Structure 1
Amino acid sequence: MSYQYNGGLVYYETVGCCDQYTTLYSSAGKVLCHPDGGLTGRGDGQCPDFAKTRTEERLVWQDPR
């Protein structure tokens, strides 16, 4: 998925299963944070407002399996 977050375009990558972190990337491909997932489900704590402040959700790619 792509979103607008903190004034810029970001890409949000989900994971398949089980206590793994999701990843949020800048439009340049830099890892910004892990907004959720992990043992607590709250990510790494580096972007705790992502779910509340993201806008302009767009599907970029979906695994058809």
Structure 2
Amino acid sequence: MKNSIKMIVGIFLFSLTAMSCTELELEKDVPNCIKQKIRKIQREDVQNPPASVWEWKDGNKTYYYITSDCCDQFNYLYDDNCNEICAPDGGFTGTGDGNCPDFNAQIEKTLVWKDDRN
């Protein structure tokens, strides 16, 4: 009986490890902390609309924009260390939290990942 329980626990732990090490198919390379945020989204129910992650480039600064689930929620912008910068949009008014920096130039936006689950 003890061996059966140990084997089940071992299989479970191996499965968790294998899932967390699965290579993400991303459009471009991103910091590990952003990959972890994507993996967290993948463990949750599918959002409506599906979640996506975008890279925003403003001059020499890189940000990551991650969409939130559905209505009246902020969509957050993170720096390349996953520090939350602001919410550029979303919320009850749809205009974000008003705390974003003034972007100097035209922001170059590139899709990094989109949840393709149904």
Q: Name the TM-score, length of structure 1 as normaliser.
A: 0.82
Task: Choose from 43, 46, 51 the match for 2:99.
Answer: 46
CA shift, 1:47, in A, is: 1.6
Query: Which structure features the higher share of strand residues?
Result: 1
> Number of aligned pairs?
63
Query: Which structure features the higher share of helix residues?
Result: 2
Task: Choose from 24, 29, 33 the match for 2:77.
Answer: 24
RMSD of aligned residue pairs (Cα, Å): 2.0
Q: Is the 8 A contact 1:24 1:35 kept in 2?
A: yes
Unmatched runs of 5 consecutive residues or more in structure 2: 1-53
Q: Aligned residue for 1:64?
A: 116
Structure having the higher Rg:
2
Between 1 and 2, higher relative CO (CA 8 Å, sep ≥ 6) is seen in 1
1:14-61, Cα deviation, whole Å (9 max, x unpaired): 1120100000000111000011000011110012756x8422x21111
SS of alignment partner, residue 57 of structure 2: strand
Runs of 4+ with deviation above 4 angstroms = none
Q: Name the TM-score, length of structure 2 as normaliser.
A: 0.48
SS of alignment partner, residue 34 of structure 1: strand
Q: Aligned residue for 2:90?
A: 37
